[in-house]
């Protein structure tokens, strides 16, 4: 029997690992990727920003963690939060109020009863999987879909709170050992 980490997502992990290694090497050499679309001036870009600029296809607008946190603080139910990771990742922790949408089955997610005008924010570990789900939601007629910039990692790195079934926690599932270095705060937990 194959190890649990060897799933249909393994090819995605390998591809993303190559991107992460390429980003790290570009950062080490002080070079900026040609196609980088910077959220801040190039001199302020972190290695994480550089990696994300290579991963994101820019099919869904992003929302910064601080902006989302402020919106949720003012009106917690104003935004539909969709966690687009795996069940194991979601069980370790998620954003308060987020609904789970299994990434490997997102096209089967029941959209009935959700207004196409309701603001939606999707997120995953770093934002690559959620961007794909967000693009699909836009194809389904949702007008205001955003991808959480940097995913749950950036959310945690920026000092925002996550929860599990018992309440607030510092645990975060890092998806894989290859992604773990990008999580600067929180307790990495693999389930």
Condensed to tens digits (0 to 9), the pLDDT of residues 79-90 reads: 999 999 999 999
Chain-centroid distance of CA 124 in Å reads 3
Domain of 39?
Answer: 10-55
Instruction: Judge if 73 and 119 occupy the same domain.
Output: yes
pLDDT of residue 65 exceeding 50? yes
Instruction: Judge if 130 and 100 occupy the same domain.
Output: yes
Write the DSSP symbol of residue 94.
B
Is the residue at 5 inside a domain? no
Is the residue at 112 inside a domain? yes
Instruction: Judge if 73 and 111 occupy the same domain.
Output: yes
Question: What is the tally of structural domains in the chain?
Answer: 2
Task: Label residue 82 exposed, middle or buried (CB < 10 Å: 0-12, 13-18, 19+).
Answer: buried
Known catalytic residue: 29? no
Is the residue at 76 inside a domain? yes
Encode pLDDT of 121-161 as tens digits.
Answer: 999 999 999 999 999 999 999 999 999 999 999 999 999 99
Q: Which two tokens stand for residue 68?
A: 């989302």
Is the residue at 94 inside a domain? yes
Q: What is the pTM of this model?
A: 0.79
Q: Which of 124, 126, 148, 156 is catalytic?
A: 124
């Amino acid at each position: 029997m194959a190890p649990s980490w060897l799933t249909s997502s393994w090819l995605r992990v390998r591809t993303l690992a190559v991107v992460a290694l390429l980003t790290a090497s570009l950062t080490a050499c002080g070079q900026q990727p040609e196609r980088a679309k910077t959220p801040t001036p190039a001199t302020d870009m972190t290695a994480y920003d550089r990696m994300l600029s290579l991963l994101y296809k820019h099919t869904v607008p992003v929302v910064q963690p601080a902006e989302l946190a402020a919106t949720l603080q003012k009106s917690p139910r104003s935004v539909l939060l969709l966690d687009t990771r795996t069940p194991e990742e979601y069980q370790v922790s998620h954003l308060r109020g987020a609904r789970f949408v299994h990434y490997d089955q997102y096209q089967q997610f029941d959209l009935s009863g959700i207004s196409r005008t309701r603001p939606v924010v999707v997120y995953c570990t770093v934002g690559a999987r959620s961007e794909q789900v967000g693009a699909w939601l836009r194809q389904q007629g949702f007008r205001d879909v955003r991808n959480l910039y940097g995913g749950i990692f950036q959310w945690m790195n920026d000092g925002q709170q996550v929860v599990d079934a018992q309440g607030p926690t510092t645990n975060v599932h890092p998806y894989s050992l290859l992604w773990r270095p990008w999580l600067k705060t929180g307790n990495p937990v693999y389930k």
